[in-house]
Structure 1
Amino acid sequence: MKIAVLGATGPTGLEFVNEALDRGHGVVALVRNPEKITVKHENLKVLKVNILNEDDLTENFKQCDVVISCLGTPPSWLSLTPVTLYLDSMKVITSAMRKSGVKRVVCLSSMCSKSEPGNPVWVEWVLKPLALGKPLQNMAQMEDYLTSQCSDLDFTVVRPPGLVNGPSTGKQIDACESQFVAGAEWSMPRRDVAKFMLSCVVDSLWLKKIIAIGIPK
Structure 2
Amino acid sequence: MNLTVFGATGGIGREIVRQALGAGHQVTAVVRDPARLDVTGDALRVVRADLTDPEELRATVRGRGAVLSGLGARSRKDAGVATRLTRTILHAMEAEGVRRLLVVSAGPVGPAPADDGPLDRAARGLVSAILKDVYADLREMEAELARSGTDWTSVRPPRLQDKPLTGHYRSVVGGFPPRGRFIARADVAHAMLAMVDDQGAVKQGVGVAY
In 2, the alpha carbon distance for the partners of 1:190 and 1:43 equals 22
The ranges of structure 1 where at least 4 consecutive aligned residues each deviate by more than 6 angstroms after the TM superposition are: 115-119
Contact 1:199–1:205, Cα closer than 8 Å, also in 2? no
- Percent identity of the aligned residues? 28
User: Is the CA contact 1:173–1:196 (under 8 Å) kept in the aligned structure 2?
Assistant: no
AA matched with 2:194: S
- Structure 1 residue 73: Cα displacement: 1.5
Amino acid paired to 2:161: V
Aligned residue number for residue 158 of structure 2: 161
Normalised TM-score (structure 2): 0.90
> Per-residue deviation at 1:133?
1.3
Q: Give the Cα–Cα distance (whole angstroms) in 2 for the partners of residues 2 and 24 of structure 1.
A: 10
For structure 2, the 5+ residue unaligned runs are none
- C-alpha displacement of 1:211: 1.6
Provide the rounded CA distance (Å) in 1 between the counterparts of 2:19 and 2:54. 27
Structure with the largest fraction of helix = 2
Instruction: Give the 5 Å matches for 1:89-128.
Output: 89-113=85-109, 120-124=121-125, 126-128=126-128
Deviations 1:11-43 (A, max 9, x none): 110011111011000110000001111222000
8 Å contact kept, 2:102–2:153: yes
Over aligned residue pairs, what C-alpha RMSD do you find? Answer: 1.9
Which ranges of structure 1 fall in alignment gaps of 5 or more residues?
Answer: none
**Residues 169, 208 of structure 2: 8 Å contact kept:** no
8 Å CA contact 1:3–1:68 kept in 2: the answer is: yes
> SS in structure 2 opposite 1:15?
helix
TM-score (norm 1): 0.87
Deviates further, 26-35 or 203-212: 203-212
Question: What residue is the counterpart of 2:21 in the other structure?
Answer: 21
Please tell me whether the aligned partners of residues 114 and 137 of structure 1 are also in contact (alpha carbons under 8 angstroms). no
Bigger Cα displacement from structure 2, 57-66 vs 132-141: 57-66
CA pair 114-201 structure 1, distance change in 2 beyond 3 A: closer
Give the Å deviation of 1:177: 0.9
- Superposition pairs for residues 22-171 of structure 1, below 5 Å? 22-76=22-76, 83-113=79-109, 120-124=121-125, 126-130=126-130, 132-147=131-146, 149-150=147-148, 152-171=149-168
Distance 2:179 2:128 in 1: 21
Q: Residue 82 and residue 28 in structure 1: after superposition, are their counterparts in 2 closer, same or farther (change >3 A)?
A: closer
